[in-house]
Amino acid sequence: MDEFLSSFGLPDVSSRVLPMEGSLDRISVREFLREAHIGNATSGEADAVTVRFNIVLEVVHSAASETDAMEHVLSYRTIVDAIDSVLEKGPFPLIEALAEGVARACLADARAVQVRVQVEKLGGEMGAAGVEIKRRRAIPEPRRLMNVRQAPLELRAGPRPFVAYLPASTLSGLRGNDWCNALAEWTYPCVICVAPLVPQPSPASNAQLRIGLLAVEQAAWALTDHDPRFQVATTRAEIEWALASGIKPIWAPDDMLAGAKAADLPDASDPAGLAAWLAQEIGGELLLLGEAEFGDDEDEIDCHARAPEELVRLAAAG
């Protein structure tokens, strides 16, 4: 069956034909009609025509089903708002330009991963004439880390744990599952720190601080839901128990930061800083996975693994 026909079909059809990627969910709008001004090749003018949209947006799994919180979910309104915002910028010389604009608008949210867009002009001599495209959210090329103590990854026999920072771009990238497998199979004690699913602003109040930290915890729980080989740990005691039991804990920071006394604590707007703080707190070695912007914390990185194979190689050697 054709991929586009199946993807725009009913959910039971698309789910059988199109494999789901990792823990992605699908939201969709089908048979959605709007008026748009599209260029006419014959007259050279932009005609007002009825256009039909069929859109399937693949997004990272959210905790909305457990929390019933609207802020945790991307819904069909995301797609409708994207269509309307693009139509306001018309007219469009080609229907292809309209489709590209809608695809970009749908992928503007960091939780969106991939979109399939079908746009058709209705009512012409040819019936329904249109275009179908598939686009994936581009992850900006990060700045190369400079002045980092990039000690080579080598076997360590001592008890000092690693604190592995897993940026959102690494986890949601094409090799996200490979990184999870490499971490789960790694033989060394390791605490995983993740970034929130959606970048958080610098908090202006204690309430905003807690909201940001809860966003990090949401990302931690989402990862354990996707891969039950990991477990969420909220306290130092839970981290130590997990490491002693051979479990790779994912740190949920709110509890430990709430009990910390320092005035200059990191927050969810700087998830890399949170990982660096935890490494210092538990006497661990800060390990960066993949490529990421580390800002002022670059000098605190002890080592850097740019590909899952670096961890797999060490696991095999151990």
pLDDT confidence of residue 192: 96
pLDDT confidence of residue 55: 96
142 is a domain residue: no
153 is a domain residue: no
Q: Which residue has the higher pLDDT, 251 or 62?
A: 251
Phi, psi of 270 (to 5 degrees): -130, 70
102 plus 236 within the same structural domain: no
Query: Do the beta carbons of residue 198 and residue 268 sit within 8 Å?
Result: no
Q: Which residue has the higher pLDDT, 108 or 68?
A: 108
224 plus 306 within the same structural domain: yes
Q: Which of 239, 200, 244 is nearest to 218 (CA)?
A: 200
pLDDT confidence of residue 251: 96
Phi, psi of 314 (to 5 degrees): -70, -40
In this predicted model, what pLDDT tens digit does every residue of 147-161 receive, in sequence order? 334 444 444 445 678
128 plus 166 within the same structural domain: no
In the chain, count of helices (H) and strands (E)? Answer: 12, 10
Mean pLDDT on 163-183: 89
In this predicted model, what pLDDT tens digit does every residue of 4-45 receive, in sequence order? 445 555 444 444 444 444 456 889 999 999 999 888 766 667
122 plus 167 within the same structural domain: no
105 plus 185 within the same structural domain: no
CATH of the domain at 60: 3.30.1130.10
pLDDT confidence of residue 149: 41
- Indicate the average pLDDT of the chain: 79
Query: Do the beta carbons of residue 32 and residue 54 sit within 8 Å?
Result: yes
175 plus 303 within the same structural domain: yes
126 plus 179 within the same structural domain: no
Distance in Å from the first CA to the final CA of the chain? 46
Buried b (16+ CB within 10 A) or exposed e, 109-143: bbbbbbbbbbbbbeeeeeeeebbbeebebebeeee
**Strands 46-60 and 112-124, bridge-based pairing:** antiparallel
180 plus 117 within the same structural domain: no
Spatial strand order in the sheet of 46-60: 24-39, 46-60, 112-124, 127-136
Mean pLDDT on 235-256: 89
In this predicted model, what pLDDT tens digit does every residue of 97-149 receive, in sequence order? 999 999 999 988 767 888 999 999 997 666 788 999 999 865 443 333 333 34
If one counts the domains in the chain, the total is: 2
124 plus 187 within the same structural domain: no
114 is a domain residue: yes
156 is a domain residue: no
Domain boundary among 101, 136, 171: 136
In this predicted model, what pLDDT tens digit does every residue of 34-55 receive, in sequence order? 999 888 766 667 788 999 999 9
151 is a domain residue: no
- Interior CA angle at 123 toward 39 and 33, to 5°? 85
In this predicted model, what pLDDT tens digit does every residue of 262-292 receive, in sequence order? 667 899 999 999 999 999 999 888 989 987 6
241 plus 128 within the same structural domain: no
pLDDT confidence of residue 44: 64
263 is a domain residue: yes
**Strands 162-166 and 285-289, bridge-based pairing:** parallel
185 plus 82 within the same structural domain: no
Range of the domain at 25: 3-136
149 is a domain residue: no
71 is a domain residue: yes
- Interior CA angle at 112 toward 232 and 5, to 5°? 125
Mean pLDDT on 174-179: 88
Mean pLDDT on 227-234: 90
176 plus 102 within the same structural domain: no
